[in-house]
Amino acid sequence: MRRSEMLSRMLVIAGVLIVLLVPLAVRFYDGQGIVEIHGRMAETGGWSPSAIKAQVGVPLHLRLTSDDVMHGFAIGQSEMAAVDVPPGKMTELTLTFDKPGTYTYYCTRWCGLNHWRMRGTIEVTSDGLGAPQPVSPPLYVTLNLDIDAPHPAPVTPLERPSALRGAAFTALLPPSYLTTDYYRSYSPAQAFNDLRSDPALKSLNNAQLWDIVAFIWQSNTTPEGLAAGKQLFAQNCAACHGENGAGNGVFADKLAAAGEKSSEDMTGAKGMQMKKPVNFTDPANMLGASPALLLGKTIRGGMGTGMPMWGSIFTDEKTWNIIAYLYSFHFTEVTK
Ligand code: HEC
Ligand SMILES: [Cu+2]
């Protein structure tokens, strides 16, 4: 064989190899390989694996499938749209993270009583570049609130307050009541008591002061924010708290019916102390709760009461929108 012929054959072989290997290599080495995740209802194991690792800026390829019913997959605190994970099919997904941290993936379909326990984590690290961003503690911690304590409202309105009527008194209202800080830190009942003892407002009757409370609450939200909160509530909370917030969602009964069984955690240990989902339409309870308290409970969860923790799922903005929506069960014309 002549030297040049051998060389050209080798080049051909090399070329063929490159054609065959490059796509494979790209699949495996441009990222961290391919991770296959199987979804199962929480009672039979949830996601497996339930913890994976990734690196900042390096694509993570996922192949998702379900071993039982239809599940959904989404990453908490991100704008990623949820993808369906049907049984008997592989759904491919590539994710690239631009910040280090622990991300939560969760099921977005109500697949069973313990649907919300279908969660896993992605630990995203960077090569020592850029220290993790310091996180400020949530407001309920700063305010030192006991978010598990009962919070009955010392006063409640006789009729439904109206933000629209309340807006008529803006000229009298000291501006300090309209700050975000004020709204987030106090319950509507506390705000009512503050207004009642304010000399600037002593000409007004109680119903008028409640209208101002509704107006203050309305001023801290927008129609878009409320619409977003309503949608998030319907998707994530209504199954327990009820479509209309009355604490009678379809899962509320099922949780009660499951009785003893529902107090088992995923390992079968009886770690749970199940409670009834809160009725958000009860003024005696809700008007005694500040947005900071409700947000605290929402992000931290009930720690074994059946109330899931949502802090790793929603951004702060989304959670504040849900909280604003919860008060709309009490105030009329809460949007402009
Ligand atoms: C699986 C059922 C379940 C789901 C889903 C659920 N909750 Fe709850 N929630 C509960 C239960 C049970 C309680 C009462 C026990 C407790 O306070 O820990 C509760 C209590 C709360 C409280 C405390 C209210 C108060 O007056 O102190 C808030 C706030 C709350 N839930 C918000 C939410 C939001 C917001 C969502 C949706 C993002 C949600 N919950 C989804 C079961 C649920
Ligand atoms: Cu599921």
Pocket of ligand 1 (CB under 6 A): 116, 236-237, 239-241, 251, 275-278, 285, 289, 294, 297-298, 302, 305-308, 310, 322
Q: How far apart are CA 87 and CA 68, in angstroms?
A: 6
Q: What is the pLDDT of residues 172-186, one digit of tens each?
A: 999 999 999 999 999
pLDDT for 336: 44
CA of 151 to the centre of ligand 1 (A): 15
* Percentage above 90 pLDDT, the chain: 71
State which residues form the domain around 257: 136-336
166 pLDDT tier (thresholds 50, 70, 90): very high
CA of 81 to the centre of ligand 1 (A): 24
Q: What's the mean pLDDT in 30-42? A: 83
Q: How far apart are CA 26 and CA 220, in angstroms?
A: 49
**Do 111 and 177 sit in the same domain of this protein?**
no
pLDDT at 23 over 60: no
* Percentage above 70 pLDDT, the chain: 83
* 332: CATH: 1.10.760.10
Q: Of 125, 153, 180, which residue sits at a domain end?
A: 125
**Within 10 A of 284 (CB to CB), how many other CB atoms are there?**
14
Question: In sequence order, what E strands does 56-118 have?
Answer: 60-66, 71-75, 83-85, 91-95, 101-106
pLDDT at 190 over 60: yes
Measuring from atom 12 of ligand 1, which residue has the nearest CA? 277
SS3 229: helix
Return the CA Rg of the chain. 26
**Do 146 and 218 sit in the same domain of this protein?**
yes
Is 1 contained in some domain? no
Q: Which two tokens stand for residue 152?
A: 């009955």
